[in-house]
Structure 1
Amino acid sequence: MPRAGLTPTAVVREAAVLADEVGYDRLTLAALASRLGVALPSLYKHVKGVDDLHQKLSVLATAEVATELTAAAAGRAGGDALRAVATAFREYARRHPGRYPATQRAPDPADPEHVAAAERAVGAVYAILRGYDLTGDAAVDATRMFRAAVHGFITLEAAGGFGLPRDIDRSFDQLVAALDTAYRDWRSAR
């Protein structure tokens, strides 16, 4: 018998909290069942398995990131928008270290909610890139560049990978400034 009030949404939300506490890689159905005070088989009424749980967590986290990136970009353009969105992405990863890795999962084409969340997140970056006159294939390349650079920085920072004696925030600012320069110079390089 399922616990009263336990729904698929509640299960995923609690999984997100647990992931932030223990890490994405340590999120298991057994740990989640214990956290929820239910027997492990009871979770299968709400999720099909650990991969399904990770998929649902990816949808939740991607939607959260999309909301934050969109809000950060609102009313801004150019380098100011780029800085705001990159900073929002980094701050989300800092606040949610367990669910952030779930945002890196490519959306499942069979999951319209996941596709919509990913499109909103990418849409926030595309909106900024239009200000640099980057559209079409150039926008795809520039978005991948943004994601690789910012995600790489976030991942290295979270892993303690920056040991040199220089302020990490300053290095992040330099990364974003380099992206801004690259995007502004993109047209002349074509």
Structure 2
Amino acid sequence: MSPRPKIGLKLTTILDEAGEIADQHGIDEVTLANLAKKLGIRPPSLYNHFNGLPDLRKKLAIYGLNRLYEIMAEAAAGVSGTEAVLVISKAYVNFARNHPGIYEATLMAPDPEDEAVQLAGAKIVDLSVCVLHDFNLEGERALHAVRGLRSILHGFSALEQKGGFKLTLDLDESLEFIIEAFIAGISK
């Protein structure tokens, strides 16, 4: 029996489903065939939304970057200084924990020079620069600090996802300790 077409399928709905596949089975399982099956449509119908698999993965990357930004911005609302850095850091790591496939997609954007990918990523950078403003970082120094923070958060997330933390220490306490050390470093 062939799948019944779903009229008026929205891009956000499709990306939600693609994200679910990525989170449950890994980014490599996000294919047009698997996505069509999950949506109950024929694979050619997806060409109304994507120009092939690379375009699907690019749009999933942008979708993920936008979701990550929203979660970080919501966490940062109404706080500043050390607390703001801690809450956006926890929001980042929790996003990677809760959405490992979508998070991986954000790292695999097919063309990082693509304007839409750049805009989505720039929102996260701008938010991070804003949060770090209380530490008197300007211009390139602020961007270096953002790179450092991202490196810490990505490294922590990647090690956690790969089972790299075997000690029975609380991971959230470790993250907080690391971020406080980062803050102490940029405060000098």
- 1:169 is matched with 172
Q: TM-score, normalised by structure 1?
A: 0.88
Question: What's the offset of the Cα at 1:139?
Answer: 1.0
- 1:45 is matched with 48
1:16 and 2:19 matched: yes
- Which of 131, 141, 144 is the matching residue for 2:134? 131
1:111 and 2:115 matched: yes
- 1:4 is matched with 7
Question: What's the offset of the Cα at 1:117?
Answer: 2.4
Question: What's the offset of the Cα at 1:14?
Answer: 1.6
Question: What's the offset of the Cα at 1:109?
Answer: 4.3
Question: What's the offset of the Cα at 1:100?
Answer: 1.1
1:24·1:102 contact (CA, 8 Å) conserved in 2? yes
Kindly report which structure 2 residues correspond to 1:40-119, keeping only aligned pairs within 5 A, or say none.
Answer: 40-105=43-108, 108-112=112-116, 114-119=117-122
- Which of 151, 155, 159 is the matching residue for 1:152? 155
- 2: CA distance, partners of 1:93 / 1:117: 17
- 1: CA distance, partners of 2:174 / 2:12: 38
Matched residues, percent identical?
A: 35
- 2: CA distance, partners of 1:182 / 1:26: 41
What letter matches 2:138 in structure 1? T
Q: Which moved more, 1:35-44 or 1:81-90?
A: 35-44
2:61·2:108 contact (CA, 8 Å) conserved in 1? yes
- 2: CA distance, partners of 1:64 / 1:37: 25
Question: What's the offset of the Cα at 1:26?
Answer: 2.3
2:69·2:123 contact (CA, 8 Å) conserved in 1? yes
Gaps of 5+ in 1: 186-190
Question: What's the offset of the Cα at 1:170?
Answer: 1.9
1:140 and 2:140 matched: no
2:149·2:182 contact (CA, 8 Å) conserved in 1? yes
Question: What's the offset of the Cα at 1:124?
Answer: 1.3
2:21·2:29 contact (CA, 8 Å) conserved in 1? no
- 2: CA distance, partners of 1:20 / 1:134: 36
The count of residues paired between Structure 1 and Structure 2 equals 184
SS of the residue corresponding to residue 67 of structure 2 reads helix
Point out 4+ residue stretches in structure 1 off by more than 6 angstroms.
none
